[in-house]
Amino acid sequence: MLHPLPDDLLKLPHRREVPFARLTTLGVGGVCHWLFEPTTEAEASQFVRTCHREGLEFRVLGGGSNLVVLGDVTAPVLRLRLPFAVECHGTEMTAPASHGHIALAEAAAQAGLSGLEWASGIPGSLGGAIRMNAGAYGHEWVQVLIRYRFLTPEGELIEKAPEPGEFQYRKSWFGREHVVLSATASLVEGDPARIRAQVAEYRGRRGTSQPLSKRNAGCIFKNPPGASAGRLIDAAGLKGMRVGDAEVSVEHGNFLVNLGHARAEDFAELMAQVRDQVRATHGVELEPEVEIWR
Ligand SMILES: Cc1cc2nc3c(=O)[nH]c(=O)nc-3n(C[C@H](O)[C@H](O)[C@H](O)COP(=O)(O)OP(=O)(O)OC[C@H]3O[C@@H](n4cnc5c(N)ncnc54)[C@H](O)[C@@H]3O)c2cc1C
């Protein structure tokens, strides 16, 4: 049931009844009943403070590239719409959390700064990448992150340097109601031609190994210690397995793709079947890398 929201919340920029199919790269899910899109940090802070005051739970959405939504969401959803602005001070680069992740990696490359080449094929927002400690090819955000700003669930703004243990493999210490506002990376000056060549090489690898022409949410499961989830799924003979229009990609076993008309329940069922079969074949328990919203 939908509860009425307080007037001061409704004064903030928002939209109603937005299908998650339009908010996520996988293209499934129910309806987002309340989508709040603050365009300033002050509005974001007001949103969080008001929700806290009213005891309202909320969710934070970035680019929706690591998300499987399994139904309607009645809780208010916050998606930052801060102006795109990248600041460079020497080799330090700061951007708002809503900045496109790929665009940020490109901005670094254009500025002749090295350290984010690996990020150039990871979609979504900077905020989502910090929250997930996104990474690829042996690199991850925590290696370059030197400062970040965020709102606590009570709406307090904090700026700090990362501390040991805060960011681990595809996870961070943030709870569901922390909101990353911006992040600063420490990069190094590099030869622009070499940076571009490295970006092209990483992109090329993705192009040949990932099903980029179909809707997906990246790797569905985390790699278990010392193993590759994709190889385990492949060795269990699961590539091409389908539930409705949800399919284990034939190109990459750890990608589930939407062949066109998949429903959220199809992905939930396919994920369950993949986990069961990998457990039965290899005795390994796969843990989702994607966030699941129920
Ligand atoms: C084709 C493809 C390739 C991919 N390759 C990789 C890869 O190589 N490596 C990798 O790590 N990931 C990869 N991903 C997954 C995904 O792109 C990353 O995890 C990305 O960083 C998620 O960012 P997002 O903005 O889309 O987050 P969302 O999917 O919107 O959200 C993910 C989580 O972050 C939280 N969140 C989002 N924004 C904020 C914020 N401002 N403050 C606090 N919390 C926030 C959400 O609440 C949620 O818990 C890939 C995805 C696709 C579709």
- Phi first, then psi: what are they for 68, rounded to 5°? -120, 115
Q: Tell me, what's the pLDDT at 4?
A: 84
Q: Tell me, what's the pLDDT at 84?
A: 81
Pick the CATH number of 212-282 from 3.90.78.10, 3.30.420.10, 3.30.420.40, 3.30.450.20: 3.90.78.10
Q: Tell me, what's the pLDDT at 251?
A: 94
Level-2 CATH architecture, domain 10-78? 2-Layer Sandwich (3.30)
CA–centroid distance, 132 to ligand 1, in Å, is 6
Tell me if domain 10-78 and domain 87-193 are identical in fold. no
CA–centroid distance, 10 to ligand 1, in Å, is 27
Ligand 1 site residues, Cβ closer than 6 angstroms: 25, 60-67, 80, 97, 101, 122-125, 127-129, 131-132, 134-136, 170, 174, 178-180, 210, 212, 216-218, 291
Average pLDDT score over the chain: 96
Q: Tell me, what's the pLDDT at 239?
A: 97
Q: What is the pLDDT of residues 264-288, one digit of tens each?
A: 999 999 999 999 999 999 999 999 9
Model confidence at 143, pLDDT cuts 50, 70, 90, reads very high
The answer to whether residues 42 and 195 touch, using CB atoms and an 8 Å cutoff, is: no
Does the pLDDT at position 219 exceed 70? yes
Dihedral angle of Cα 202, 197, 109, 104, to the nearest 10 degrees: -20
Q: Is 207 helix (H, G, I), strand (E, B) or coil?
A: helix
Mutation choice for ligand 1 from 131, 143, 152, CB with most ligand atoms inside 8 A: 131
Residue 97 Cα: closest atom of ligand 1? 41
CA–centroid distance, 125 to ligand 1, in Å, is 7
Model confidence at 294, pLDDT cuts 50, 70, 90, reads confident
Biggest distance spanned by C-alpha atoms of the chain: 57
CA–centroid distance, 7 to ligand 1, in Å, is 31
- Phi first, then psi: what are they for 225, rounded to 5°? -50, 125
- Other beta carbons less than 10 A from residue 18's beta carbon: 18
Domain residue ranges in the chain: 10-78, 87-193, 212-282
Does the pLDDT at position 98 exceed 80? yes
Residue 26 Cα: closest atom of ligand 1? 53
- CA 77 remoteness from chain centre: 15
CA–centroid distance, 4 to ligand 1, in Å, is 30
Report CA-CA distances (Å) from 119 to 9, 74, 220: 35, 33, 18
Q: What is the pLDDT of residues 64-97, one digit of tens each?
A: 999 999 999 999 999 999 998 899 999 999 999 9
Does the pLDDT at position 131 exceed 80? yes
Q: Tell me, what's the pLDDT at 1?
A: 61
The answer to whether residues 82 and 39 touch, using CB atoms and an 8 Å cutoff, is: yes
CA–centroid distance, 290 to ligand 1, in Å, is 8
Does the pLDDT at position 157 exceed 80? yes
Level-2 CATH architecture, domain 87-193? 2-Layer Sandwich (3.30)
**pTM for the structure as a whole:** 0.96
**Mean of the pLDDT values across residues 242-270?**
96
CA–centroid distance, 226 to ligand 1, in Å, is 23
Residue 124 Cα: closest atom of ligand 1? 26
Residue whose CA is closest, atom 43 of ligand 1? 179
